């Protein structure tokens, strides 16, 4: 395993973080525990979760992933060895089942969410607490652009959020805080207010980034590089699309995109064409497509840790082996050629 300094935290984090969102829906508690065991044995020291998980989130499954992590901590005593990140859900109709719909980023709402997450996780602190998505009207979760802010009920409470995060850091219930599914404007707005009022900056941003979704490079990558914000990308395999298993017919009936067909972000004609082209690049150079896709994400300078996810230890093993791969200049040139033909088909 390789490690990077994670933003300004002073923590050396594994270049791969274990994502957890299938535990409690696609994976049992025992399977989640087995993945954590295997990951830690092979050098991973960072887990990412959220109160929303397992995904797809329902009234029956939200919070289950955190609870599975909590029972693993209790059984292993390894909480102190793990950089633990979780998230508080923002307002959204698809998350209305969480905490009786009391969603948002007021001080009281953050207190309620954090308290429940800590209880499920069986810990008294988080290393990183993230706002899962903005409360305002904005382009996230695959939306290509923002064209109007008319009828946006959002009231800017950024200073309240910063003040609350400062209080939580001082109290020791979180060590750092971060953003997720944010935009360049959102990050710079937060940084400006934090610096103006002497409050803690966010240390990271967790947005989608993959060969099919490189929009992060437009604006956010420069923000991360110049402000020393840790890129903490999710969906590096585009929900499994970039493993190639949906191309060759090896995907099982319970594979994510077969099981949950409501997720169409990586199913456009352009995304499918680009996936075939990336598969051809991997074949030409004798590379495993999964490892090629992950290595590309891991080795961007603005990404400090790449969040991987798996539904089996076998898949996890392949993901972990990607850290041994460094893409050649020839492969990178071919990847850029595919990107030029199908730029960001999944945003």
Catalytic residue positions?
Answer: 53
Closest CA relative to residue 116, chosen from 78, 70, 83, 73: 70
Q: Are 346 and 271 in contact (CB under 8 A)?
A: yes
Question: 212: helix, coil or strand?
Answer: coil
CA–CA distance, 317 with 329 (Å, rounded to integer): 26
Q: Are 69 and 48 in contact (CB under 8 A)?
A: no
Q: Are 290 and 242 in contact (CB under 8 A)?
A: yes
Runs of H (alpha helix) within 86-157: 107-121
Q: Which residues contact 118 (CB under 8 A, 6 or more apart)?
A: 124, 125, 126, 173
Q: Are 223 and 184 in contact (CB under 8 A)?
A: yes
Buried b (16+ CB within 10 A) or exposed e, 131-145: bbbbbbebebeeeee
User: How distant, in Å, are the alpha carbons of 9, 161, 174, 267, 346 from that of 157?
Assistant: 25, 6, 20, 36, 30
């Amino acid at each position: 395993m390789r490690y990077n300094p994670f933003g300004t935290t002073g923590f050396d984090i594994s270049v791969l973080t274990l994502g957890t969102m299938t535990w409690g829906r696609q994976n049992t508690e025992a399977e989640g525990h087995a993945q954590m065991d295997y990951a830690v044995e092979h050098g991973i020291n960072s887990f990412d979760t959220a109160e929303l998980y397992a995904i797809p989130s329902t009234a029956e499954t939200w919070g289950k992933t955190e609870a599975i992590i909590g029972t693993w901590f209790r059984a292993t005593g390894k909480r102190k060895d793990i950089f633990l990140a979780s998230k508080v859900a923002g307002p959204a109709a698809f998350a209305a089942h969480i905490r009786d719909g009391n969603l948002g980023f007021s001080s009281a709402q953050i207190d309620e969410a954090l308290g429940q997450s800590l209880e499920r996780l069986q810990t008294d602190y988080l290393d990183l607490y993230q706002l899962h998505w903005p409360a305002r009207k904005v382009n996230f979760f695959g939306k290509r652009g923002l064209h109007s802010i008319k009828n946006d009920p959002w009231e800017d409470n950024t200073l309240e959020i910063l003040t609350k995060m400062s209080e939580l850091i001082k109290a020791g219930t979180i060590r750092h805080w971060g953003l997720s599914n944010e935009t360049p404007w959102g990050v710079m707005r937060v940084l400006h207010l934090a610096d103006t009022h002497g409050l803690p900056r966010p240390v990271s941003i967790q947005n989608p980034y993959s060969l099919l979704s490189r929009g992060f490079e437009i604006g956010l990558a420069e923000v991360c590089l110049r402000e020393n914000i840790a890129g903490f990308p999710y969906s590096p395999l585009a929900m499994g699309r970039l493993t190639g298993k949906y191309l060759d017919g090896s995907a099982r009936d319970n594979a994510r995109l077969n099981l949950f067909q409501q997720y169409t972000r990586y199913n456009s004609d352009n995304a499918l064409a680009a996936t075939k082209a990336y598969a051809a690049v991997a074949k030409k150079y004798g590379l495993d497509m999964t490892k090629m896709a992950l290595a590309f994400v891991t080795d961007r300078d603005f990404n400090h840790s790449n969040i991987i996810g798996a539904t089996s230890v076998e898949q996890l093993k392949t993901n972990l082996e990607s850290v041994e791969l460094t893409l050649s200049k020839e492969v990178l040139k071919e990847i850029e050629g595919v990107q030029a033909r199908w730029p960001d088909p999944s945003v």
